[in-house]
Chains A and B, each alone.
Chain A
Amino acid sequence: MNTAARTAVRSRFTLSRDVMQAFYRLLGVVLLCAILATLSDVFLTTNNILNVLRQSALLFLMASGLTLVILTAGLDLSIGANVALSACLAASVIKITGSPLLGMATGIGCGAVIGLANGILVTALRIPSFIATYGMMWMLTGVTYYYMAGETIHGFPPEFRQLGSGYLLGVPMPVYVMVLFLLIGGLFAQRTVWGQQIYAIGANPVTARLSGVPVERRLVLVYAVSGAMAGLASLIILARINSAQGDIGEDLTLPAIAAVLVGGTSLFGGSGTVAGTLIGALILTLVLNAMNLLQINSSWQPLVTGVIVLLAVWIDTRARRIGE
């Protein structure tokens, strides 16, 4: 290395690589929309677009907290079961007290406590996150089934239902929640010390610890956030479908993981963005929406999702190799 190379120190951090990645994905979404618009005249209608956004919102909310967990090279398999328990408890509280605010606090609080428990299992007991949250998933499902005993709770106050099915200026409420948490999540990950430390933990936990990063505390935080976001998502589902059952949200975990992966976050930790996850959620929702519009048998949907996940991860792996 000569001295000329030394002086030419140019700008920017690793972050910008992630930003570029998100940008290319956004291009992909636009391209996808253009293709779909030519295939179906319904696609570009306001109604359909809003519908896609509303569906993406739920997926994104679940996946945004999960993104932070995956950034630390962990995994949270309990978010679907978390949604079920949080929704059922929130529904009970609303029914009993009649207060939507109390119910919302219960839902988010229940989610956060579950996440906290995951964090403690992962840090204090040193159980690998995959196993800790997998066990948690089963336990939560058991508790929820016992609590609900096959019953359904339905019929909530209209002001609460606004959260899921209401509109503001013609745009569904969940879309506002999505945008809000995109901003909060993005700022947290990219523009706070804690966010930077989370990336560092994902890249190398040993180095992070030996650099004075309180690794355990950050991990607990990340799992608690993932749980709280599941709690928030449970409220939106509850408000939309106006009823709670023991099996609500059960099938949401794997799509959320798919959104994170399609969004470009690496399962090995240390690289990815929250904005990418939103794009991932959009891509998955768009494709499923298009299949509905084109009246393709819905049995094909899981297969297509699988292909998209593999394709996205494959492209990322290629891009990284070329980047090196």
Chain B
Amino acid sequence: MTVVPLFELRGISKEFPGVKALDDVSFEIRAGEVHMLVGENGAGKSTLMKILCGAYRADRGSFFNNGEPVTIHDSTAARKFGIAVIFQDFTLVPYLDIAQNIFLGREFSSRLPGFIDRRRIHAEAKRVLDMIGFDIDPRMPVHGLGVAQQQMVEIAKALSQDARILVMDEPTAALSDRETELLFAMIARLKKNGVAIIYISHRLSEVFALGDRITVLRDGSNIASLLPAETTPDQLVTLMVGRPVDTTYTRPSRPTPGAVVLDVKNLSGPSGFSDINLTVRAGEIVGLSGLVGSGRTEVARAIFGADRVTAGEIRLFGEPIGGSTEISALRGMALIPENRKTQGLALARSVGDNIVLAGLRKLFPSGFFFPGRAMKAARAIIEKLRIATPTLRRPVATLSGGNQQKVVVGKWLNADARFYIFDEPTRGIDVGAKAEIFRLLDGLVHNGAAILMISSEQIEIVHICDRAYVMRSGRIVGELAHHELTEANIVRLGIHQ
């Protein structure tokens, strides 16, 4: 049986200076399906989607809308065919309300020329929101909404423009479990209405739970089109990476924990945590778990000296510390923040500049900066962490997520850090690179460093950590020793009263 696809891309090639991003890629999407697009970072998923929505022009290739040949040379053309992208970083205007955002630029005019018919905008917005089952007052300003709600508004906006094909790029990356469920329910609803969804994900569980079909890209080429029912996760990963990969990361034996490196006593702060007590020893990876919003990141920032504290004490290697990121860095503390693009990197600066940033004071004690020495240091880090970059000069923004994360870690290696706080180190990083990041953590503790690791994925905490603290509503509600460290125990402590 042949089905005429809703939209089809055939033989798409795209080259950037020095890189063949896409090579003869074909892709089709049918009405009412969720089509999973998977591949490692840099495989060409984003480029393909940017061509589909008219942001990039393909060098070669053709497009078919309902079997009819068409061209897409800009985003207006893509919109005409009902193609809409839900971006990861949302494009909403914070001080306008939900309805105004949905109809931004397409406002209904009232009978008085030049004025806007607000009532009609709100009524239409309500209708669209009902369609996706999002129960919210369209007069709410957008800046008060959470990430999940903003995403819903984005989707409503796309549907209000008669989108038939929605592209979602890692839509669950910043969502809690409950919000993810709501999103999945909405996707099911959209499918029933005949909307096609192209879904990019790094999470294998989602790919299999949600997908009707799977397309795998690798190094800019189509590798396979699969049906989830006929595929196993291991097969899929092998296809993505190009070689068999052991996704079940096994924890190597760890050294016996040494002296206490970090000792936090009764720490409280205005950013929403109180009476925090925790210790981390040399050679140990200690987890800090709990739900999103339980205060984990705030504690990490306070320990690093980025946020104020009102009570308590932080000791690093026995010495009191606190309130200054400069002193923390000089004494050997490192923070790998949760958002590497806005907090971990200076995106426009080069890979080399980023790597040497935290260690400048140590590398150049005289205060004079020598580019040659800085380059040598950066190159050593690039080799040590096997960061894939053609030159040190490349803006760090052009690297893949996994390599960017390595640059952030490398920044601290270069600063001779001995205690590392990792806040969600694997967010937005693909399967192959994840295992590499874990091995990096292992390597650090084997060399005597100590690590405090925050993660929302309990499975990660269980796999990597030697023990873990669990937070709830700004407090530590329990400590799990290695033999007690299970997903069930983490969830029980994190949620249960």
Contact = CB atoms under 8 A, between A and B. Distances in A.
Contacts of A196: 353, 356-357, 360, 369
Nearest to B388: A1
Contacts of A194: 367
Contact of B392 (A11, A203, A270, A324): A11
A269 to B, nearest CB: 9
B329 A193 contact: no
B361 interface: yes
A97 interface: no
A270 B348 contact: yes
A16 B367 CA distance: 21
B415 interface: yes
B415 A16 contact: no
A293 B437 CA distance: 66
Nearest to B327: A212
A195 B364 CA distance: 12
A213 interface: yes
Contacts of A14: 349-350, 352-353, 393, 395
Interface string B378-401: 010011001111111101000010
A210 interface: yes
B390 A13 contact: no
A195 B346 contact: no
Interface string B336-378: 0100001111111110110011101100100111110011000
Contact of A9 (B353, B364, B370, B382): B382
B325 interface: yes
Nearest to A203: B346
Interface in A185-238: 190-197, 199-200, 203-204, 206-214
A10 interface: yes
A9, A199, A212, A270 — most chain B CB neighbours (10 Å): A212
A8 interface: yes
A303 to B, nearest CB: 33
A187 B415 CA distance: 24
A192 B369 CA distance: 4
Interface residues of A, number: 38
Nearest to B387: A6
Nearest to B364: A193
Interface string A10-22: 1111111100000
B393 A190 contact: no
A2, A194, A207, A324 — most chain B CB neighbours (10 Å): A207
Contacts of A72: none
B353 A213 contact: no
B370 A191 contact: yes
B360 A197 contact: yes
A210 B307 CA distance: 11
B101 interface: no
B460 to A, nearest CB: 22
Nearest to B344: A207
A213 B326 contact: yes
B131 interface: no
Contacts of A208: 346, 357
A255 B389 CA distance: 41
B403 interface: yes
B348 A271 contact: yes
B371 to A, nearest CB: 6
B42 interface: yes
B335 interface: yes
Given A209-B325, A212-B415, A270-B348, A13 B374 contact: yes
B357 A200 contact: yes
A10 B356 CA distance: 16
Contacts of B335: 210
A203 B360 contact: no
Nearest to B382: A9
Contacts of B420: none
A9, A11, A200, A206 — most chain B CB neighbours (10 Å): A9
B329 A212 contact: yes
A10 B350 CA distance: 12
B342 A13 contact: no
A5 interface: yes
Interface string B97-127: 0000000000000000000000000000000
B411 interface: yes
B260 interface: no
A210 B391 contact: no
A212 B335 CA distance: 10
Contacts of A210: 304, 306, 325, 335, 337, 343-344
Contacts of B411: 211
B367 A193 contact: yes
B330 interface: yes
Contacts of B343: 206-207, 210
B36 to A, nearest CB: 23
Contact of A13 (B42, B325, B371): B371
A10 B392 contact: yes
A122 B350 CA distance: 28
A8 B352 CA distance: 14
B329 A211 contact: yes
Interface string B296-325: 000000001010000000000000000011
Given A13-B392, A207-B343, A214-B325, 12 more contacts: A10-B390, A11-B393, A12-B371, A13-B374, A190-B371, A191-B369, A193-B369, A196-B360, A209-B325, A211-B325, A211-B329, A212-B358
The 9 closest A-B pairs by CB, nearest first: A212-B329, A203-B346, A1-B388, A211-B358, A14-B350, A204-B346, A10-B391, A214-B326, A193-B360
16 contacts: A1-B42, A5-B388, A9-B383, A11-B392, A12-B393, A13-B371, A17-B393, A196-B356, A207-B345, A210-B306, A210-B335, A210-B344, A211-B325, A211-B357, A212-B415, A270-B349
